[in-house]
Amino acid sequence: MAEGNGGFSSSGWSLRGTTALVTGGTRGIGYAVVEELAGLGSTVHTCSRNEAELDKCLREWHAKGFAVTGSVCDGSDRAQREQLMEKVSSIFNGKLNILINNVGTNIRKPTVDFTAAEYSTIMTTNLESAYHLCQLAHPLLKASGAGSIVFISSVAGVLSLGTGSIYAATKAAMNQLTKNLSCEWAKDNIRSNSVAPWYIKTSLVEHLLQKQDFFESNTPQTTRRAEGGLISGGIPLPSCGFLHHRAGYLRGRWNDCEWFQSQHLKEEVSQLPGVTSFNEQISLD
């Protein structure tokens, strides 16, 4: 099995013998997570709505020696999610160790301007898809004897960042779902955690980050200005850290990736008791 570059794959960590499903794995955060998991030895299945894009990524991964397969699937479609999980069950013989809920979308506009269709699109893609996939994956995760779910959430789920109220609501709900599943499914030896990144240069927000004033106001002291596909040490590390057997005590947690001290964060955190300096490490946990 080929080893990935950097990250846990160069530190002696291993996920050999595990199976993983990463939704939306052909670009951005999902692509980077697939690379990290495969580099650590996990056998990965991923999905994308775009067949040509999926085929291109699969060729790249196979050339690297990664054990990655893929399916065409629209994560916002219930029937296609069911078909996806049937295929995953068939490929992995009814057992799944890792589920990474990564699919997401956004529409930015004032709350009063959202249409019912736009509300449904964001809720279905971001929250319903993750919720339903957890339901479908439960028997497979349980059968593995050591299941782990990681939600790709957002700092927008705990702070007001101007991302749009519906998007923020889906991410806040995702964080709470993380805690509930962690408690409810502990008896089945299934852990649940989430990763809440700041702005990552993916296709979803790249047009915003190209605006210099927006970029500077949102990332004035960012230590890692990460780009999707080049974020080993960023999103993949917290994600994979939650998956390792030595992290079995981590349940119902979310990791903010500690990438920023933005003006938004300063304004909100300054209202908290005991905060005296923004040069100190601030934990949102």
Which residues of the chain fall short of a pLDDT of 70?
1-12, 198-285
Q: What single string gives the DSSP state of each residue in 171-194? A: HHHHHHHHHHHHHHTGGGTEEEEE
- Write down all domains in the chain, each with its CATH number in brackets: 7-269 (3.40.50.720)
- Summarised one tens digit per residue, pLDDT across range 84-112 is 999 999 999 999 999 999 999 999 899 99
What confidence score (pLDDT) does residue 12 get?
58
pLDDT of residue 46: 99
**pLDDT in the model for residue 202:** 47
The whole-number pLDDT of residue 251 equals 45
Which of 31, 119, 131, 167 is labelled catalytic?
167
Per the CB < 8 A criterion, the answer to whether 102 and 33 are in contact is yes
Active site residue 167: yes
267 contacts: CB under 8 Å, gap ≥ 6 = none
| pLDDT at residue 14 in the model | 84
Structure tokens at 236: 């993949």
227 burial (CB, 10 Å; 0-12 / 13-18 / 19+) is middle
